Amino acid sequence: MTPVTTAAPRAATKAPARRVYAASVLLLSVWVLGPIYLLFVNTLSSPEAVNSFPKSFIPQFDLGSLAFFAKFDGMLAALGNSVIVAAMTMVMSIAIGAPAGYALSRFEFRGKELFRLLILLTRAFPLPLLALPLAVLFIRTGLDDTTFGLALVHTTLAIPFAVLITFSLFSGIPIELEEAAWTLGCTRLTAFTKVVLPLILPGITASAIFAFVISWNEVFAAAVLTIENRTLTAFLLQKLGDAPIHLKFAGGFILVTPALIFIFAVRKYLFAMWGIANR
Amino acid sequence: MTRFTKLAGAVSGLAIMLGATWAQAEVLFWSTQARPVEEAQAMRDNVLKGFEGGVDYQPNEDGPWLTRLQAELEAGSGSIGVLGGLHGSFSAMNPDDLVDLDDLGVVSSSETYNTLAKLGTDHLQYVPWMQASYIMAANKQALQYLPAGADINALSYDQLIEWTANVEAATGEKKFGFPAGEKGLKHRFFQGYLYPSYTNGVVRTFASDEAVVAWEKFRELWSHTNPASTNFANMQEQLLNGDAWIVFDHTSRLAQAFNERPDDFVAFPAPAGPKGRGFMPVLVGMAIPRTAPDLDAAKALVSYMLKPETQIATLKATNFFPVVNVELPADVPPAVKAAGDAVAIMSASPDANPGLLPAGLGDKGGDFSRVYVDTFERIILAGQDIRSVLDDQKAVLAKIMQDSGAPCWAPDAPSEGACPVE
């Protein structure tokens, strides 16, 4: 989506170029919005309409499929758990990832390359492989079936992104800005909080969004490590696999909507970050 | 940043409010069955509500189900009270990890099932819970193309092929549907239907000349099969949307079609081959892991599940049939009626050749099914020579049988020691 905001047409641009530009904007929008719209239409259609062909592109506003989920036991609690886990994942991955990104960008230290590699390596092992030993450990330590325990796992998954994003952001901010702040009486810490932090807040938001989405979408660990405190994804996805198709649509809709709302709410900060990155 | 902080505040407030409402101390019923949302909800509302002390019914995919169980066994403590799973899931476990259930005093009314449930030991390792089978179903529009003189309740494979060919000739579309997708149960068709019907065996006769004939026939059937079948897993969907008119699948994977439009579809027995009408049951059981937090409550739940009225409620909720003798009520859902009749005709047919579930394979159950799926993919999808594929795969199958030491099961003739591939 980046080209959309950056490739602003100049006044001198000829009409064909503008048409290509408009076409690519349209294509990208349809690429993203098309499936979401179909999901929306099918969610609001009766089971018969979902199974029939050709499909209508106008929703009939049949709330049957959604009403089924509304009275499904444990839905709200699962939604709450998803939000708690995602929020904790956001906070923890930023709290751990941002200092690591700062250190990587500002300091030379022994084993820096190895450290960067190790961070990426946390994504190299598939969760189904890690889930068994993790679950055993969690049961023994009492972390089992807690939102905090699950958030720890999700944080591990989100940290590489947090580190890499913040690393590139810190690298984009000239050290001279900090040095200038030091000469004007700031300590290392106050220079960071007063000068650097405001500049990178949008970036932090972006990595928070990554953390949120990663946590929101993760199923396997959530299914194994929680029982009573299921997240929405684990709660629904386990059951949607074999569900009739109209409920699959409705379930998918329920899973997608909160994430969309969240991203929409923080979009301002995201766009601001692209501004920085493109400077 | 204020809007963001406000949002975060609101969200966490909501989350805390929602998270605080949790009940505990229910028996956790950890199951791989009744997974579809509607079935899971019906299990909670109509089947388990009557159990004193409450049940937390949690259906799961096989992967997380097993991983969680293994973790609890390894950690030596856990929260799972009762396990629900296929016979195959339990036979892959170490019997020592399951509590012996002889003292419960409840068993199924089938001696065969009770023997299977001992998993090769002297004690009951799980209690049969419910059963199902695989049948055929068709859209009534397809009936007009039945070959002359064919009885839908006593079809042969040749007639089925002719029928699907007639439909294709008349409509221009391939309307036979086969669950050959990633999650489809195609291997059961080969193990319990095609092989027994043509070779009167599953393992011994794997690479026999009769097996070559069976695969030739299936290749013929496949030529009239909707090519999108490699994406199909629940044939009820294709019945409902008209992509397939004649299908084979698990009774509970056809149920939605009959329940939604009972007048549009018919259920009928699987076809017969030269060696009879091969068919296979599906057996689901309940077990208690040795780490169950409250053994007495877990046992009480297992007993409760086998009560006749619970079994009937389970039938209505899941379309799986009781394993104890019960009088079926008149108001069963259309799918239960249709599937029940088809299974009854199938097992009562004069040429019935019932098979048993693969037994004694232990953790090789998955590899065993893989052999049949690979054979299908090589012969049918890749179009390789039948004889050479069977000779290839025979070695793989023989090794699995050797390693597991599983003796033959019906319809294969009994064996001393591991079942040989002849």
Quote the CA–CA distance of B132 and B252 in Å, as a whole number: 8
- Cα R_g (chain B), whole angstroms: 23
* B234 CA to centre of own chain: 12
- Regarding whether B111 and B234 lie in a shared domain, the answer is no
Average pLDDT over residues B363-389: 93
- Chain A contacts of B289, Cβ < 8 Å? none
Residue B25 to residues A225, B32, B55, B297, B310, Cα–Cα distance (Å): 18, 21, 9, 10, 22
Interface test with B, best of A238, A245, A246, A273 (most B CBs within 10 A): A238
In B131-242, alpha helices (H): 157-171, 186-189, 195-199, 209-222, 235-241
Residue A137 and residue A211 share a domain: yes
Helix, strand or coil, per DSSP, at residue B56:
strand
Q: Which of B249, B222, B243 is nearest to B381 (CA)?
A: B222
Confidence band of B140 (pLDDT split at 50, 70, 90): very high
Total tally of structural domains belonging to chain A: 2
- Band of pLDDT at residue B343, cut at 50, 70 and 90: confident
Range of the domain at B79: 25-132+282-331
Write down the pLDDT at residue A244.
77
Query: Which of A83, A205, A240 has the CB atom closest to B14's CB atom?
Result: A83
Token pair belonging to B222: 């496949």
What pLDDT is stored for residue B2 in this prediction? 52
Question: Is the CB of B19 less than 8 angstroms away from the CB of A220?
Answer: no
Please write the tens of the pLDDT for every residue from A4-58: 444 445 555 678 889 999 999 999 999 989 988 888 888 888 877 777 767 777 7
Which residues of chain B lie closer than 8 angstroms to A240, CB-CB?
Answer: 37
Distance from CA of A68 to the nearest CA of B (A): 9
pLDDT value at position A5?
A: 47
- What is the domain range of residue A174? 71-277
Q: Is B281 left (phi over 0), alpha (psi -120 to 50) or beta?
A: beta
- Neighbouring CB atoms inside 10 A of A52's CB total 14
Which ipTM value was assigned to this complex?
0.74
**36-55 of B, contacting A, C-beta below 8 A:** 36-38, 40-41, 44
CB distance B76 to B291 below 8 Å: yes
Q: Do residues A260 and A138 share a domain?
A: yes
Interface test with chain B among A48, A224, A264, by most B beta carbons within 10 Å: A224
B239 and B114 share a domain? Answer: no
State the pLDDT confidence band at B16, using cuts at 50, 70 and 90. very low
Residues B383 and B273 in one domain: yes
* Contact flag B70-A72 (C-beta cutoff 8 Å): no
Residues A52 and B263: their CA atoms lie apart, in Å, by 17
Question: d(Cα A186, Cα B37) in Å, to the nearest integer?
Answer: 59
Give residues 176 to 205 of B whose Cβ lies within 8 Å of A.
Answer: 183
Q: How far apart are the two ends of chain B, measured CA to CA in Å?
A: 75
- Reported in sequence order, the residue ranges of A1-63 that DSSP labels E, i.e. its strands, are none
B139 in the same domain as B51? no
Instruction: Give pLDDT tens digits for B208-235.
Output: 999 999 999 999 999 999 999 999 999 9
B67, B105: one domain: yes
Q: Cβ of B270: how many Cβ atoms within 10 Å?
A: 27
> How many angstroms separate the CA atoms of B315 and B340, rounded?
11
Both A53 and A75 in a single domain? no
What is the enclosing helix (H) or strand (E) of B181? none
Which residue among A53, A79, A224 places its CB closest to the CB of B68?
A: A224
Q: What band does B344 get if pLDDT is binned at 50, 70 and 90?
A: confident
On whether any CB of chain B is under 8 Å from the CB of A199, the answer is no
Question: Phi and psi for B280 in degrees, rounded to 5?
Answer: -140, 140
Q: What is the mean pLDDT of residues B251-264?
A: 91
Q: Please give the residue that has the higher pLDDT: either A126 or B168.
A: B168
pLDDT for B166 equals 95
Q: Do B279 and B72 form a contact (C-beta atoms < 8 A)? A: no
Let me know whether A122 and A249 are in one domain.
yes
Q: Are residues A26 and A78 in the same domain?
A: no
Measured between beta carbons, the chain B residues lying within 8 angstroms of A66 are none
- A266 closest CB neighbour out of B4, B35, B75: B4
Q: How confident is the model at residue B63 (pLDDT cuts 50, 70, 90)?
A: confident
B24 CB neighbours in chain A (<8 A) are 228
pLDDT band at A236, cuts 50/70/90?
confident
pLDDT for the residue B1: 43
* C-beta of residue A116 within 8 angstroms of C-beta of residue A184: no
Per-residue burial over A194-225, b = 16 or more CB atoms within 10 Å of its CB, e = otherwise? ebbeeebbbbbbbbbbbbbbbbbbbbbbbbbb
Asked if the Cβ–Cβ distance from A224 to B41 is below 8 Å, we say no
Judgement on whether residues A112 and A207 belong to the same structural domain of the protein: yes
Q: Are the beta carbons of B75 and A52 separated by less than 8 Å?
A: no
| B60 interfaces chain A, CB cutoff of 8 Å | yes
Please check whether residues A58 and A114 belong to one and the same domain. no
Domain boundary, last residue among A62, A86, A115:
A62
Give yes or no for residue A255 having a pLDDT over 70: yes
A83–B36 CB contact, under 8 Å: no
- Cβ of residue B5 closer than 8 Å to a chain A Cβ: no
Mean pLDDT value of segment B22-44: 82
Q: What is the DSSP string of B311-332?
A: HHHHHHHH-PEESS--PPPTT-
Residue with tokens 């030991």: B121
Strand partners, A18: none
Taking residues B409-419, report their average pLDDT.
Answer: 86
Strands B352-354 and B277-279, how do they pair?
parallel
Q: How many CB pairs under 8 A join A and B?
A: 130
Round to whole Å and give the CA distance between B9 and A270.
Answer: 20
User: Which residues on A lie below 8 Å from B8 (Cβ)?
Assistant: 87
Which of A73, A83, A144 faces B44 most closely, judged by CB atoms?
A: A73
User: Is residue B132 classed exposed, middle or buried when 0-12, 13-18 and 19+ CB atoms within 10 A define those classes?
Assistant: buried
Closest chain A residue to B29, measured at CA? A227
CA angle B259–B261–B266, rounded 5-degree value? 90
Average pLDDT for residues B392-420, to the nearest whole number? 89
B18 touches chain A (CB under 8 A): yes
Is pLDDT above 70 for A178? yes
- Helices A75-106, A147-172: crossing angle, 10 deg rounding: 40
pLDDT score, position A57: 75
Degrees (nearest 5) of the Cα angle A65, B134, B398? Answer: 125
B376 and B243 assigned to the same domain: yes
Q: Do the Cβ atoms of A80 and B18 come within 8 Å?
A: yes
Residues 6+ apart with CB under 8 A from B164: B174, B175, B176, B221, B224, B225, B246
**Residue B136's pLDDT band (boundaries 50, 70, 90)?**
very high
Q: Determine the residue of chain B that is closest to A147 in CA distance.
A: B19
> What Å distances lie between residue A160 and A79, A118, A264, A270, B372, CA to CA?
26, 9, 24, 19, 42
Instruction: Please tell me whether residues B205 and B244 are part of one structural domain.
Output: yes
Q: Do A80 and B15 touch (CB under 8 A)?
A: yes
Q: Report yes or no on B97 lying in a domain.
A: yes
Instruction: Give the CATH number for residue B365.
Output: 3.40.190.10
How far away is chain A from the Cα of B118, in angstroms, using its nearest Cα?
A: 27
**Is there a single domain that holds both residue B47 and residue B57?**
yes
B59 contacts chain A (CB < 8 A): yes
> What are A100's two structure tokens?
């690591």
Among A62, A81, A104, where does a domain finish?
Answer: A62
State the pLDDT confidence band at A122, using cuts at 50, 70 and 90: confident
Nearest to B79 among A72, A76, A145 (CB): A145
Which backbone phi and psi does B150 adopt, to 5 degrees? -85, 135
Question: Does one domain contain both A53 and A102?
Answer: no
Q: What is the DSSP letter of B130?
A: E
Nearest-CA distance B82 → chain A (Å): 14
d(CA B368, CA B202): 11
Share of chain A above pLDDT 90, in %: 18
Task: Tell me the residues of chain A between 125 and 164 that have a Cβ less than 8 Å away from chain B.
Answer: 128, 131-132, 135-136, 138-140, 144-145, 147
A135 and A46 share a domain?
no
Instruction: Confirm or reject contact between B143 and chain A (CB < 8 A).
Output: no
**Is A266 within 8 Å of B77 when comparing Cβ atoms?**
no
Q: What is the mean pLDDT of chain B?
A: 88
Please tell me the total count of domains within chain B: 2
Contact A28, A37 (CB under 8 A): no
Q: Percent helix, strand and coil across chain A, each rounded to 5? A: 75, 0, 25
**Domain presence at residue B297:** yes
Q: What is the overall mean pLDDT for chain A?
A: 83
CA-CA distance, B285 to B355, in Å (whole number)? 18
| B277 and B294 belong to one structural domain | no
Interchain CB contact of B237 with A (< 8 Å): yes
- pLDDT, tens digit (0-9, with 9 covering 90-100), for B270-323: 999 999 999 998 899 999 999 999 999 999 999 999 999 999 999 988 889 888
Residue B241 has pLDDT above 50, yes or no: yes
Sign of the alpha-carbon torsion through A211, A237, B40, B99: negative
pLDDT on residue B5: 53
* Residue where a domain stops, chosen among A28, A43, A62: A62
Better-predicted residue by pLDDT, B331 or B250 = B250
Q: Is the pLDDT of residue B19 over 50?
A: no
Interface test mutation site (partner B, options A88, A129, A148, A227, max chain B beta carbons within 10 A): A227
Answer yes or no: is B12 within a domain.
no
Best mutation site among B2, B29, B68 for testing chain A: the one with the most A CBs within 10 Å?
A: B68
Q: Are residues B63 and B97 in the same domain?
A: yes
Pairing status of strand B55-59 against strand B27-31: parallel
Token pair listed for A19: 């048409």
Query: What is the DSSP pairing of strand B27-31 with strand B321-322?
Result: unpaired
Interchain CB distance below 8 Å, A241 and B234: no
Same domain (yes/no): B108, B160: no
CA pair distance B194, B279, nearest whole angstrom: 9
**Phi-psi category of B53—alpha, beta or left, where left has phi over 0 and alpha has psi -120 to 50?**
left
Helix (H, G, I), strand (E, B) or coil at B107: coil
Residues of A in contact with B64 (CB under 8 A): 131, 220, 223-224, 238
B71 interface with A at CB cutoff 8 Å: yes
Q: Which residue has the tokens 């195959």?
A: B88
| A56 & A98 share domain | no
Asked whether residue A110 falls in the same domain as residue A246, the answer is: yes
Helix (H, G, I), strand (E, B) or coil at B398: helix
Residues A168 and A261 in one domain: yes
Q: Measured between CB atoms, does A68 come within 8 Å of chain B?
A: yes
Q: What is the mean pLDDT of residues A226-243?
A: 80
Q: Please say whether the beta carbons of A155 and A211 come within 8 A.
A: yes
Residues in chain B, overall count:
422
Amino acid identity at A164: L
- Specify the pLDDT at position B414: 84
In tens, the pLDDT along B105-121 reads: 878 888 888 888 888 88
User: Is there a single domain that holds both residue B369 and residue B322?
Assistant: no
Which chain B residues are closer than 8 Å to A135 by Cβ?
67-68, 71-72, 75
- The average pLDDT across A204-210 equals 84
Q: Which of A144, A209, A239, A267 is the best residue to mutate to test the B interface, defined by the most B CB atoms within 10 Å of its own CB? A: A239
Cβ distance A243 to B67 less than 8 Å, yes or no, reads: no
**Do the Cβ atoms of A82 and B21 come closer than 8 Å?**
no
- Read out DSSP for A68-107? HHHTSTTHHHHHHHHHHHHHHHHHHHHHHHHHHHHHHHH-
